[in-house]
Amino acid sequence: MGVAPAPSRTAAQSGPPGPDRTHWLRVARETADDLATDAVAREQAGKAPFDEVSRLREAGLLTLLIPAEHGGGGADWATACAVLREIAAADAAIGQLLGCHYLLAYSARLFAEPGLGAQVERRSAAELWCWGGGVARQEPRLTLLPSGDGYVLNGRQSYVTGVLVADRLAVRAVRADTGEPLAVIADASGRGVRIDDDADPFGQRLAAGGSVEFDGVRLGPDEVLGSLPADEDVLSPTASLAAPLGRLVSVQLRLGIAEGVLGEAREYSRAGHSPWHPEWPAGSPQDPQTLAAYGELTVLTRSASALAAEALTALESGLRRGADLTYDECAEISILVAVAEAAAARAAHESTARALHIIGARSASARLGLDRFWRNARTHALYEPVAHRLRDVGDYFLNGAHPPFTLPV
């Protein structure tokens, strides 16, 4: 599977550049270190992450992907992915919250007309919005009733990421008169919007998930981003990249979890003792089982990271191509991301389970909080099962079939 050739023109916007990649990676590391200091206590408390969102906001990470000319950080998706993985390694739930925010805020650029998209991004940057919600297909559906020059939004959506702390909610709703699905945004504190803290998951507890009910919520024309059909031939190729883009966020989250648990397990092993030979310091060349286990998990994680880098390169090439992108190229990008997601899922699953075995019975201590990595990875896998991605890859390899346009939950 090759990568689309370099474009003859790009979709990059002109304007003053924002801070460079080095700046954002330094900010991400500092924020991750801050989150790591109390990650176990915060996860066990399970409170809505208002404080954590404040940390992201103060660090400037909420506006990272918004163009500098619109008041944002002006970073690209490669930088955003590196930031997400750094945050997820320290706190996977906050990584999911931030990844969802990036994807939904970027939807203004994917689904809206350029003028409306720029308007939404300027407001998001100026008011430092935190985005929550989700535009994946769900049942029962949210409905839109035309009213004057706008719409009225009704319905209930369950387990919406970030809903407890979001300023704006981007959701999928269907026009009652035509059946057309649309991506819309609503003020989370607006009249007729009710938020319920009813998710209660055993993992990703700080992703601020919950339910939201819309009861006669009025939306203006500038709050309807655009059409969100299920068929790729109806959607523009650029907008079709929303699906692999969302899955690439999932890849970074899973890799962050794998790298996070291995990092903590390594520090504990260096300070502790081997579960197989208590008289040998863990990590010693005298302990071949520990070394082999860490070696296998390192190979798994770094292999998945390399596949993620290949997928990211292809996706960024597709974004730069803009209207020149073909559906065949979009399908190939989607498959590269699916391959990376399958590899990242395996790395997260193996690392979070086997790291506990490497440390031994002491890993069961609630004080260490190592179980949170396994619970976070497992919870994410329940919402985003990798079996679907493997079927897509197999169907593409065997039959040349394009993967379906399905957005992550």
Q: Say whether 216 sits in a helix, a strand or coil.
A: strand
Read off the tokens for 183: 């991506």
Domain boundaries, the chain: 21-132, 133-227, 237-399
- The pLDDT of residue 8 is 32
pTM metric for this prediction: 0.91
Pick the CATH number of 21-132 from 3.30.429.10, 1.10.540.10, 3.20.20.70, 1.10.3720.10: 1.10.540.10
Distance from chain centroid for Cα 167: 18
In CATH, which superfamily holds the domain spanning 133-227? Butyryl-CoA Dehydrogenase, subunit A, domain 2 (2.40.110.10)
Enumerate residue ranges in the chain where pLDDT < 70: 1-16, 229-235, 272-286
| Domain 237-399 bears CATH identifier 1.10.630.10 | no
pLDDT of residue 353: 95
pLDDT digit string, tens, across residues 1-19? 433 333 333 333 445 677 8
Cα-based distances in Å from 219 to 92, 211, 223: 33, 19, 6
Q: Please report the DSSP string for 284-322 in residue order.
A: -TT-HHHHHHHHHHHHHHHHHHHHHHHHHHHHHHHHHHG
Tokens 């523009």 correspond to 236
Query: Per-residue pLDDT tens for 209-264?
Result: 999 999 999 999 999 999 886 655 566 777 889 999 999 999 999 999 999 999 99
Specify the pLDDT at position 286: 64
Closest-CA residue to 220 (of 129, 145, 135, 149): 149
pLDDT of residue 16: 60
- Write out the H or E segment, with its range, that includes residue 184: strand 181-187
182 phi and psi angles, rounded to 5 deg: -130, 150
